[in-house]
Amino acid sequence: MAERPGTPLAADAVDDADPAPDSVPRGSVPYLDHHATTPLDERVLEAMAPYLGAEFGNAASTTHAYGWRAEAAVDLAREQLADLLGAAEPREIVFTSGATESNNLAILGLADAAAEPGHVVTVATEHPAVLDPCRELARRGWEVTELPVDYEGRLSLADLEEALRADTRLVSVMAANNEIGILAPIAEIAERCHARGIVFHTDAAQAVGKIPLDVGAQGLDLVSVSGHKLYGPKGVGLLRVRRGGSPRVKLAPRQFGGGHEGGLRSGTLPVPLVVGLARAVEIAEREREAEAARLVGLRDALWHALETELSGRVRWNGPRAAEERLPGNLSVSFEGVDGERLLADLGGLAVSSGSACSSAKPEPSHVLLALGHSPALAKATLRIGFGRGNGPDDVAYAAERILAAVRRQVGGA
């Protein structure tokens, strides 16, 4: 029998000296919607390339070298991700198709493993991938509390404490909001949950690689991550599932057929995507501090241009303090402006009015309504997400297009 390989090809792709690409491919207008998705980083594609071609083996095929090399690549990626995220051991990393599946596995998986229905606490401004599974639990006889937020999107820790009960099984609060960029005090929330023996889950799809995150040090039991939010491939993510310790984290699988991923997520692993996810997180973490500072500069420059010219007609959504907000996020609402016409007048500028998962729905953003916005003001909102490849020229172009579109509706403003 042939020997198992020691170091998979993926290891060659992890090199701290790798230069960043000169530019991120894009169309004829700036791409300013990095909360919806991000372009695949060329360095990530390079790491994936061997597993899209000659190294096509199935990681679950353990009788020959093709499978062993695929298995070794997955093992390395799992080890890298556990280390980068601060997990105690590689087995805590469960690969999924993305944060939506991870959220469903965390919430519904915990409920399915419970002996009887209980109580779940979440927040009114969560992503639909959290709110919808929680509402599904309500239909199954669980009690669900959706906590309110203040006008800047903050959750009151006092409200959280008051909501916790003897039968509370899970609290789910996102680390960084996908619309207004506010950061939640997840370590403090986890501490309060653990003091009562409650499992804590956080949707960290917008947070990983953008803010400091250490799942072990911060006490995060269940953590959802998505590759395409941080310049990795679409179709892959992970759920960190803490092993051992207290409170006990017990999940039931959501899909069956082979017992992969410790029995939690059956299905043949997409080795290229798994390798790409690990590489994307590695790059994002290595470049995080410098990139955050650069994005704050771009974000603030655009805000200054809009605020200066629109004489109080533009409103900043979410907190102003840098330590409370994603560095590349700018959410702004325009008084006296028709939101649908505003988007139509932007000439294809790649921004959005809210969550990409809800962009096809005519209803105003549930996040902005939770902040106290009127439906009209919520619809007259732009979510701008700066990222790699954006520069000062993009700020100038976006400011010009947005200002022109607003002035067409409100005159000289």
Query: Which residue's structure tokens are 């401004």?
Result: 125
Residue among 250, 251, 277 at smallest CA distance from 98: 277
Q: Which amino acid is at 377?
A: L
Distance of CA 184 to the CA centre of its chain: 13
Tokens matching residue 214: 């250490």
Does residue 413 contact residue 63 with C-beta atoms inside 8 Å?
no
CA 129-130-131 angle, 5° bins:
100
Residue among 75, 404, 32 at smallest CA distance from 271: 75
> Residue 354's pLDDT is what?
65
What's the CA gap between 391 and 301, in Å, rounded? 11
Q: Is the dihedral of CA 260, 261, 266, 272 positive or negative?
A: negative
What's the CA gap between 31 and 39, in Å, rounded? 9
> Residue 10's pLDDT is what?
41
Does residue 206 contact residue 229 with C-beta atoms inside 8 Å?
yes
Which is catalytic among the residues 144, 164, 211, 357?
357
Residues constituting the chain: 413
Half-sphere exposure of residue 275: CA atoms within 13 angstroms, side-chain side: 28
Query: Which residue's structure tokens are 């704050």?
Result: 296
Residue among 84, 55, 75, 78 at smallest CA distance from 67: 55
Burial class for 295, CB neighbours closer than 10 Å (0-12, 13-18, 19+): buried
> Residue 259's pLDDT is what?
83
Which H helix or E strand runs over 199?
A: strand 199-203
Tokens matching residue 376: 């009209």
The number of beta carbons lying within 10 Å of the beta carbon of residue 26 is 14
What's the CA gap between 144 and 27, in Å, rounded? 43
SS3 307: helix
Residue among 327, 318, 106, 114 at smallest CA distance from 203: 106
What's the CA gap between 141 and 127, in Å, rounded? 22
Mean pLDDT, 10 residues at a time, over the chain (413 residues)? 41 44 57 97 98 96 95 97 98 98 98 96 98 97 98 98 98 98 98 98 98 97 98 98 95 89 91 98 98 98 96 93 96 95 90 64 88 96 97 96 94 63
Does residue 87 contact residue 53 with C-beta atoms inside 8 Å?
no
> Residue 27's pLDDT is what?
53
Torsion of Cα atoms, 350 then 356 then 360 then 364, to 10° = -100
> Residue 311's pLDDT is what?
80
Domains, the chain: 51-281 (3.40.640.10), 288-410 (3.90.1150.10)
Q: Which amino acid is at 22?
A: D
Does residue 146 contact residue 120 with C-beta atoms inside 8 Å?
no
What's the CA gap between 227 and 97, in Å, rounded? 9
Query: Which residue's structure tokens are 């500072």?
Result: 293
> Residue 258's pLDDT is what?
82
> Residue 4's pLDDT is what?
41
Is 357 catalytic? The answer is yes
